């Protein structure tokens, strides 16, 4: 009972943090992104870049808030577009939920949250560094499901990079692959780190002014189906040796 109470308290703390005005108001989110841009590249003049990242981070924060019982005006419009969450697992270490996409959408949502045993910097590296994925991602032979390639294509700046992931799936399906864009910001007032992860579509217009990188770094798809996803993770410090993730 005591262990169950601990995860409930950490979950409530994260819910409370995600409802802070700094993480709800679009102007405040834009200020956090500008601070990140100045710290990593010494410049904050790229208005289109900041605007695009603000929209993406705002949408992701709304996705995170939709998994909590917190209700506010910023999350109602997002929640009404989707069906209810379905609880799949709930223990003193982990909660797993699933939600169908809105009508006509190919996207379904999976959510996991719970404890990660390790300092914040270690947990961030495990979730961020694509070259480490083979060391912890399940590598199944029967049926086949394993990562066959994971590499960094370009480090755009501190806290932002492009990676390539290729997964072997059961026959007769061909391999799946994704070009992933990672973007990380900190909110240290509440011991919080947010990592936004989204795929780069073949149809998406890419430019240095709006994205911070060019399409030259993205390889062409060969003998594989390139998939789309949007999501990420948020980490909040529990103590020096543990953090809570969603």
d(CA 35, CA 119): 24
Assigned token pair, 62? 């709304």
In the prediction, which pLDDT does 37 show?
Answer: 84
In the prediction, which pLDDT does 81 show?
Answer: 57
pLDDT digits (tens, 9 = 90+) for 24-36: 999 999 999 998 8
What's the pTM value of the predicted model, to 2 decimals? 0.85
Run means of pLDDT, 10 residues per run, the chain, 246 residues: 84 96 95 86 69 93 82 42 82 92 80 94 89 87 90 90 93 93 94 94 67 75 90 95 96
pLDDT digits (tens, 9 = 90+) for 201-220: 776 667 665 566 677 778 88
Contacts by 18-26 with C-beta closer than 8 Å and gap 24+?
A: 18/61, 18/64, 18/65, 18/68, 18/70, 18/234, 19/65, 19/70, 19/72, 20/190, 22/187, 22/189, 23/61, 23/187, 24/61, 24/72, 24/74, 26/54, 26/58
Kindly list the distances between the CA atom of residue 32 and the CA atoms of 184, 185, 210, in Å, as whole numbers in the listed order.
Answer: 11, 7, 18
In the prediction, which pLDDT does 45 show?
Answer: 58
In the prediction, which pLDDT does 36 show?
Answer: 86
* Closest to 36 (Cα-Cα) out of 180, 151, 182, 179: 182
In the prediction, which pLDDT does 212 show?
Answer: 65
- Give Cβ neighbours of residue 155 (< 8 Å, ≥ 6 apart): 161
Strands 242-245, 224-226: pairing is unpaired
In the prediction, which pLDDT does 156 show?
Answer: 87
CATH of the domain at 201: 3.30.530.20
Neighbours of 185 (CB within 10 A): 19
* Percent of the chain whose predicted confidence (pLDDT) is above 70: 86
Domain count, the chain: 1
27 lies in which domain range?
2-245
The alpha carbon torsion through 221, 51, 156, 183 (nearest 10 deg) reads -80
Chain Cα centroid distance, residue 211:
17
């Amino acid at each position: 009972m005591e262990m169950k109470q601990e995860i409930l308290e950490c979950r409530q703390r994260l819910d409370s943090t995600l409802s802070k005005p700094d993480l709800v108001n679009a102007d405040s989110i834009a200020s956090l992104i500008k601070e990140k841009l100045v710290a990593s590249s010494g410049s904050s003049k790229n208005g289109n870049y900041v605007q695009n990242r603000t929209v993406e981070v705002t949408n992701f924060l709304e996705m995170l808030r939709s998994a909590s019982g917190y209700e506010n005006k910023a999350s109602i419009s997002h929640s009404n577009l989707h069906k209810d969450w379905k609880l799949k697992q709930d223990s003193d270490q982990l909660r797993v939920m699933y939600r169908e996409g809105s009508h006509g959408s190919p996207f379904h949502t999976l959510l996991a949250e719970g404890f990660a045993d390790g300092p914040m910097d270690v947990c961030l590296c495990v979730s961020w560094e694509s070259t480490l994925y083979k060391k912890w991602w399940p590598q199944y032979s029967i049926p086949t499901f394993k990562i066959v390639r994971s590499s960094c294509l370009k480090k755009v700046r501190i806290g932002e990079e492009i990676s390539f992931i290729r997964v072997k799936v059961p026959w007769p399906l061909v391999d799946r692959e994704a070009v992933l864009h990672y973007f990380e910001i900190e909110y240290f007032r509440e011991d919080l780190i947010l990592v936004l992860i989204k795929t780069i579509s073949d149809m998406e217009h890419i430019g240095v002014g709006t994205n911070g990188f060019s399409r030259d770094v993205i390889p062409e798809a060969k003998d594989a189906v390139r998939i789309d996803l949007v999501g990420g993770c948020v980490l909040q410090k529990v103590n020096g040796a543990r953090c809570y993730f969603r």
